[in-house]
Copies of this chain bind each other. A is one copy, B any other.
């Protein structure tokens, strides 16, 4: 049987309340008492029972991170950043993957496993504005990534539209005029794909380049494989192009591979830029230009907001919407 507060209290010759006070850094304790209690804790190797604490206080010190897919390097790196930010605040992280679309997301969000956690970091993939009411509950939650407009929860995101505008403009500034966009979700408005397509179009308009729908390549799932396949299909159409904005790095890398197999030189024939600044982009051939979304900043901001909601559960402060900075990273794939 494990050591309890009672054991410590008995050894230290105080009541369990005093021990509890010491553990929870309650301010008004005589130094001598604190010493005694700490000595007893050390001697017994006491560790608080987190289930009991959680039952009584309603706080477990665990948060959930809901992401589509860890195999996607962007989410692995984001998860890493979130876990480091969470640990710095004394929180543990349960990761849940939900590659199964809207139904699965809702299921997990409502499932019994969310009982255990104090709050949720939710990287929205499938839910849209019409589902915002599903989130209108008391659970502390911060949304990451896509934007649910006017949702009831705090939201941290990169500047999708601005980022895509900057990426596209970067290629245009190199003199490219037939810039393809890889990763569109036809009809989507509020998700990353929709916002990035919007930025792409803005950049074209600003440079006076006419929008050509045949340069927009839809890809539903943003994996390397899907980028490769979409590019393969696009090449068979013979649409001329000299630039490529991929809406994430994984797709860009898959597409680069296919283009080079087809004899296209990068950046000479096609200049390429991606999105996310995953580690791999530094070592691909050629190395990949990209938009760095400041994952660490996203993670830290999100954990801070969540912690605030956890600590002030009945503050009815309105949902906040924060956007992090981004940076263009120019590498070989868009070298001059």
Binds B, one of A88-96, A142-150, A151-159, A180-188: A88-96
State whether the Cβ of A257 lies closer than 8 Å to any Cβ in chain B. yes
How far, in Å, is A128 (CB) from chain B's closest CB? 24
State whether the Cβ of A212 lies closer than 8 Å to any Cβ in chain B. no
Q: Evaluate contact between A76 and B70: CB separation under 8 angstroms.
A: yes
Chain B's closest residue to A57 (CB) is: B51
Q: Which residues of B contact A224 (CB under 8 A)?
A: 279-280, 282-283
Q: Which residues of B contact A76 (CB under 8 A)?
A: 70-71, 73, 76
Interface residues on A, range: 35 or more
State whether the Cβ of A175 lies closer than 8 Å to any Cβ in chain B. no
- A-side interface mostly: helix
Give Cα A34 to B174, complex, Å.
70
State whether the Cβ of A313 lies closer than 8 Å to any Cβ in chain B. no
Q: Evaluate contact between B47 and A112: CB separation under 8 angstroms.
A: yes
18 A–B contacts, CB within 8 A, in A order: A47-B112, A47-B115, A49-B55, A50-B113, A50-B116, A54-B116, A62-B94, A70-B79, A76-B76, A83-B95, A92-B94, A92-B116, A228-B283, A253-B283, A257-B283, A260-B285, A284-B284, A284-B285
